[in-house]
Amino acid sequence: MEFLRFENTTFSRERVLNIRGKLFTISAPQVMGIVNCTPDSFYSESQSSTIEKQQKLIDLHVKNGATWLDIGGYSSRPGAEHISEKEEIERIKFAVSYALEKYPDIQISVDTFQSAVAEYALEQGIHLINDISGGLINPEIFSIAADYQVPCILMHMRGTPQTMAQQNHYDNLLQEVLVELGTQVEKARTAGVKDIIIDPGFGFAKNSEQNLKLFSFLEAFQLFDCPVLVGISRKSLIYKTLGISAEDSLNGTTVLNNIALDKGANILRVHDVKEAVETVKLWEKIRGSLSMI
C-alpha cells in the first residue's frame, strides 16, 4: 500500500521587499514587536510612555527574537483622543533613535497615518511606514514613502480612530474589505510605492463577530500578491469572544496566530514576542515534517 503524500503549500512563496534600495527577503514568518509610546493603549502592559519603559521593551522584544519592531505614538484604540503631529513625534523620538542605533539589523516601522510623523521617522532612517488608515486620512503619505523607497503597510479601516466604531456596516464584509483595500493599494502604486504589505485591519471598523468572520477568510488576502501582516494580539475579537480581559488573552492570541500562519500570514504583529517566536518555530517544524512524508 502506498503512503499518501501530503504537500503543504502554505507559505511556499518567498516575498522580497525593497527597503531603501536593499532587498529584504521574507523566507519564513516574521515576528513584529509592538512598541506603543502612548499612555493609553487598550492593553495596559504595552503602555510605554517613558524613555525607560521604551528602552526596556525594545530590548526585551529583540532579546525574545523579534525581527521587526513597530513604533507608534498615536493611540488607535476606539475613541482615542486625537493628538497633533508634533506631540506624536515627541512621543516616538527616543524609541526611534534608540532602536535604529542599538539594533541596525532589525526592520523598524513607524505606526502612523500623519504624514509629518512619517517623514520625520524616515529622515531618521526608519525602514517602513505602517499606516492604519491605508492612506485614507493623509494620502500624501504614499508620495513620502515613494520618495524614500520604503514599503508601506496598508491596513483596512474606515473613518478615524475616533469614528471607526460607528462605521462597521457591511453588506458583504469580505468583498467590501477587499475592494476598499484594493483601491488604496492601487493609489499607493500610482504614487510610486513599490512594495506593499497588506493588513486586514482586525479591530478597526469591525465588531467582534465581523473580525472572526474576516479572520476565517484570511487566505483571500493572498490575491493582492503582497506579504500579509496579521495583528490580532490581545484584541477584542479574542477577549470579548472568551469573556475575559486583554490581560488574559495571551493563550487566545497564540491560538489565532497559529491559525494565521496556516492561512498564509507572513508577519505576526504582537505584544508578546517570545510566545509568537515559539509559535513560529513549532509551526515551521511541523510544516517541515509534512514535506518529508
CB 230 within 8 A of CB 268: yes
Counted domains in the chain? 1
In a domain, 127, yes or no: yes
In a domain, 155, yes or no: yes
In a domain, 120, yes or no: yes
In a domain, 24, yes or no: no
d(CA 253, CA 238): 7
Query: Looking at residue 47, what DSSP letter applies?
Result: B
The amino acid occupying position 274 is K
Catalogue the active-site residues: 235, 269
In a domain, 19, yes or no: no
CATH of the domain at 194: 3.20.20.20
In a domain, 9, yes or no: no
d(CA 158, CA 167): 6
Residue among 273, 290, 285, 289 nearest 35 (CA): 273
The boundaries of the domain holding residue 207 are 30-78+86-291
d(CA 172, CA 208): 16
In a domain, 13, yes or no: no
What pTM did the predictor assign?
Answer: 0.92
pLDDT confidence of residue 1: 34
Q: Are strands 267-270 and 229-230 parallel, antiparallel or unpaired?
A: parallel
d(CA 244, CA 233): 14
Instruction: Write out the DSSP string of 62-74.
Output: HHTT-SEEEEE-S
Written as nine digits, the cell of 128 is: 517602513
Model confidence over 113-125: pLDDT tens digits? Answer: 999 999 999 999 9
In a domain, 23, yes or no: no
What does pLDDT average to in each consecutive run of 10 residues of the chain (293 residues)? 43 79 92 90 60 94 98 83 93 97 97 97 98 96 97 95 90 97 97 97 94 96 96 93 94 97 97 98 85 56
